[in-house]
Amino acid sequence: MKKEEKSHQWNLAYFGLVAVVLGAIIGFGSSWFIWHLQQNALDEQKMLERHNIAVALCFDVSDIEDKFNSTMNDFLVSNNGTKVLDDPTFFYFTNTRYYSINWIYNVFGKDISGFDGVTSADLYAFYRDVAEIDDYTQFVYQIGGRVALGEKVSPMDIATAHIFTKGLFTERIPDSILLAEKIKQELTQKYHTNIHLYPMSSIPPATAYYHMEINRTTNLSRLAIEYH
């Protein structure tokens, strides 16, 4: 009788231990499953937020690119090409502003780091270049305004305005247009923006049109101008 009671007690202890272990396993499994669902939900939310930011940036980059294209077109049409840039006293000024304290970059600047390394670097480089281009164009615009008012302008300011103008229309703006196209492709391919972009304003008919060509050996770009 004592042996049976002892055996019964061991069975109860065994089953109790098994129940505790099973309860712990079930509890852990349930907690892990709930955590996993929550983590998936957070990941999906982050992906959605990143997608929405990518869409906003794609629109913004496209709008800035449109301004660049309009400026290039106006310059080429009004001067019949780039030969005027050989004149050391020539400069071209426009009141177009590309940089704005209210632009999307100021809202999502920190979020850009959440993209892949290549896209992040391209976006930061693009917006940095846009700000510099705007600084250059505003300087030339101020010099042009002073000349138009008949004010005395130093030869140094004239030379600087020419250097800025030549750099803008042979390198800075064309290169930024190329980078904008690259960024839009990256955002579409990697973050599935899949949006239709329309220019902010239609570019008037021109007697000359241009396109950028890239030397695949040196990766240098140049402005190719054709007349019709």
Tens digit of each residue's pLDDT (9 = 90 or more) over 31-40: 655 545 555 5
For residue 24, what pLDDT is reported?
62
Of 221 and 118, the one with more pLDDT: 118
* pLDDT tens, position by position, 152-197: 999 999 999 999 999 999 999 999 999 999 999 999 999 887 765 5
Q: What whole-number distance in Å separates Cα of residue 183 and Cα of residue 65?
A: 11
Q: Are 127 and 63 in contact (CB under 8 A)?
A: no
Torsion angle of C-alpha atoms 110, 111, 117, 122, degrees rounded to 10: -70
Q: Largest alpha-carbon pair distance within the chain?
A: 122
For residue 225, what pLDDT is reported?
38
Using a CB cutoff of 8 Å and minimum separation of 24, what contacts does 15-18 make?
none
Of 50 and 76, the one with more pLDDT: 76
Using a CB cutoff of 8 Å and minimum separation of 24, what contacts does 115-119 make?
115/50, 115/54, 115/190, 115/191, 116/190, 118/186, 119/183, 119/186, 119/187, 119/190, 119/191
Q: How far is CA 108 from CA 43, 120, 177, in A?
A: 19, 12, 21
Q: What whole-number distance in Å separates Cα of residue 31 and Cα of residue 221?
A: 57
Which range, 11-15, 205-209, 213-217, has the best average confidence (pLDDT)?
A: 11-15
- How confident is the model over 136-145, as a mean pLDDT? 93
Helix (H) or strand (E) holding 38: helix 2-79
Of 8 and 98, the one with more pLDDT: 98
Phi and psi at residue 210, to the nearest 5°: -135, 165
Task: Give the domain range for residue 192.
Answer: 2-227
For residue 127, what pLDDT is reported?
93
How many domains is the chain partitioned into structurally?
Answer: 1
For the chain, the average pLDDT equals 76
For residue 85, what pLDDT is reported?
92
For residue 92, what pLDDT is reported?
92
- How confident is the model over 92-98, as a mean pLDDT? 88
For residue 17, what pLDDT is reported?
62
For residue 219, what pLDDT is reported?
41
